């Protein structure tokens, strides 16, 4: 049951995956309101990623794993609702 154990290696893989997704997705928001929404969503993504790194440094792997998953979820949601373009990458994003 190694899949149910949160390890440093697993958290690092998810951090790398989210970093890759953050770099790949490009803004496609149109209009001031959507751009503001996207900015807020990306801020949440970045804040949760920073939290994940902080928890890793504190050896709190469960919270680190949770935080990086929240971080990625903000990106995934922005792609799903059309504020970011995931460029057809269904490995990194849940596409619309």
Q: pTM for the whole thing?
A: 0.92
Q: Is 46 among the domain residues?
A: yes
The alpha carbons of the chain give a radius of gyration, in whole angstroms, of 14
Q: Is 94 among the domain residues?
A: no
Give the pLDDT of residue 1.
Answer: 47
- Minimum mean pLDDT among 6-15, 30-39, 64-73, 87-96: which range? 87-96
Q: Is 93 among the domain residues?
A: no
CATH number at residue 24: 1.20.1270.90
pLDDT in tens, 1-41: 456 899 999 999 999 999 999 999 999 999 999 999 999 99
Backbone angle region of 22, left / alpha / beta, with phi > 0 → left and psi within -120 to 50 → alpha: alpha
| Lookup: tokens for 30 | 């149109």
Which domain range does residue 18 map to? Answer: 8-85
Residues 66-90 have a mean pLDDT of 97
Q: Is 95 among the domain residues?
A: no
Give the pLDDT of residue 4.
Answer: 85
Residues, the chain: 96
Q: Is 2 among the domain residues?
A: no
């Amino acid at each position: 049951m190694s899949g149910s154990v949160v390890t440093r290696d697993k958290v690092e893989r998810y951090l790398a995956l989210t970093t890759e997704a953050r770099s790949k997705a490009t803004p496609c928001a149109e209009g001031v309101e959507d751009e503001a929404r996207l900015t807020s969503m990306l801020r949440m993504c970045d804040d949760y990623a920073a939290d994940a790194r902080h928890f890793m440094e504190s050896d709190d792997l469960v919270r680190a794993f949770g935080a990086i998953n929240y971080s990625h979820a903000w990106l995934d949601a922005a792609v799903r609702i059309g504020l970011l373009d995931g460029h057809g990458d269904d490995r990194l994003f849940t596409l619309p």
